[in-house]
Amino acid sequence: MEMQNVKAYGTPAATADLVTMNINRRTVTDKDIEIEILYCGVCHSDLHTARNDWGGTIYPAVPGHEIVGRVTRVGTEVSKLKVGDFAAVGCLVGSCRTCENCRQDLEQYCTTGMVGTYNGRDKHLGGHTFGGYSEKIVVDEHFVLKVPANLDLAAAAPLLCAGITVWSPLRHWKVGKGSKVAVTGLGGLGHMAIKLAKGLGAEVTLFSRSVGKTQDALELGASEVVISTDAEQMKAVRGKFDLIIDTVPYVHDLNPYISTLKVSGTLVLVGFLGGLEPMLNTVPLVLGRKSVSGSLIGGIAETQEMLDFCGEHNIVSEIELIRMQDINQAYERMLKSDVRYRFVVDMASLRGN
C-alpha cells in the first residue's frame, strides 16, 4: 500500500516530552476520506497514553482523538462527504463491523476489538495507529462524522470524546424532560454532561468538593450545586436522582452518592478506570434496586446523533485554544485541573502557519 509522510507531534517514550516527528499515513483507498486536521482537542486519555499510565502504550505514540478538519481527498466509493466539507473523527477508526455489537451500532464494544484512533492496530499499514496531533488523517468513511455548519469548529472538537462519553449514558438511561440528573466533577466531561443533560430537558445538579465551582456550574445550566463533603447538603438530596454521571478520573468513594439515587437509579462511571476504594456498600443497592454501572464513549451513529443535537441546540465545549508547541505545558496544567474546560490545539501551529 502506498504511504505518505506527515508531520506530527508525539512522544518516543513514557518519560519523554512530545516533540515534532514524521509518521506515515496510507494514501486514500476506495472507501477512505483524507482530512486536513484543523483542530484537535486534548483529552486526559492522551496524557495517560503518552505516559503509559494504563500500560500497553506502543511508541512512538501520537495522541489525539477529538479531531475536526476539512476533507481534502475522498475514495472512489465514498458517498458520505465530499472535498471541502468539514468532517470529524472521534475515538474510533475501525471495528469488525459484523459482530453482534457492531451490527447494533455499538462499535465501541466490538467483540473482536475496536480500533482506536491512536495506539490501535493499523490493519492497513501494520503497526499501530497515530492520532490527531498531526497534519492529516486518513479514515474509512464509516468512522468519519459530519460537523453541523453552525458550530464553532474549535469548540466542537471536544464533542468527539468528552461530548459522546457523557451523551451515551444520557441516551441509554433515557434522560429527558423531568429527569433529575447529577454530575460528579466539573471538568472536560463534567461541563459537557451539564450542557447536554440540560439540553435534553433534565434538571441538573453538580456534586462538587469546591464552592468555587458554583457560579460556573449555574452558568453552564445546573440548577443546583451540592457540596459533597457537606453532610447536611448530601442528606437534603437523598433519594433525588434518576442518574448520576460520575466523571471523576481518580479513586474516590462512591458510597455517599448512592444514597442520593432514587429507587432504580443508576450511578454510571465514565471517568475512572481501576479498582473501587473503599468497598461498595451493597445495602442501599439491594434495598433500592440501585445500580453502579459504566459506559465507554459511543458508537458512530450515536456520535452523529450527538453532533446533530449540538448543532440544533448550539452546544459546544468551553475551550482554551493552544499551539501544538505548548502541549507539554498543557499536560502539566491538565494534571492540576488548570483549564476551563478543555484544551484544543490549533493545528495551523504545527504546519507553521
Q: List the chain domain ranges.
A: 3-161+318-351, 163-294
List of residues 6+ apart from 311 with CB closer than 8 A: 148, 149, 150, 151
Measured distance CA(216)–CA(205) in Å, rounded? 12
**H helices of 200-292, where?**
214-220, 231-236, 255-258, 283-288
For residue 353, the model assigns a pLDDT of 55
Number of other residues whose CB lies within 10 A of the CB of residue 97: 13
Measured distance CA(28)–CA(30) in Å, rounded? 7
Q: Are 154 and 118 in contact (CB under 8 A)?
A: no
Strand, helix or coil for residue 267 = strand
Number of other residues whose CB lies within 10 A of the CB of residue 59: 15
Is-cis flag, bond preceding 341, omega within 30? yes
**In Å, how far are 35, 113, 123, 139, 147 from 87, measured between CA atoms?**
7, 24, 22, 11, 6
For residue 1, the model assigns a pLDDT of 73
Fold of 3-161+318-351: Quinone Oxidoreductase; Chain A, domain 1 (3.90.180)
Cell numbers given for 353? 502557519
Fold of 163-294: Rossmann fold (3.40.50)
189 class by beta-carbon count within 10 Å (0-12 exposed, 13-18 middle, 19+ buried): buried
Q: Are 298 and 108 in contact (CB under 8 A)?
A: yes
Question: Which stretches in the chain have pLDDT values below 70?
Answer: 353
- End-to-end alpha carbon distance in the chain: 30
Instruction: Output the pTM of the full model.
Output: 0.96
pLDDT tens per residue across span 246-256: 999 888 999 99
Using CA atoms in the order 164, 329, 7, 44, what is the torsion angle rounded to 10 degrees?
-20
245 phi and psi angles, rounded to 5 deg: -100, 110
Q: Are 211 and 224 in contact (CB under 8 A)?
A: no
Q: What percent of the chain has pLDDT over 70?
A: 100
Measured distance CA(28)–CA(65) in Å, rounded? 20
Measured distance CA(305)–CA(245) in Å, rounded? 20
pLDDT tens per residue across span 303-330: 999 999 999 999 999 999 999 999 999 9
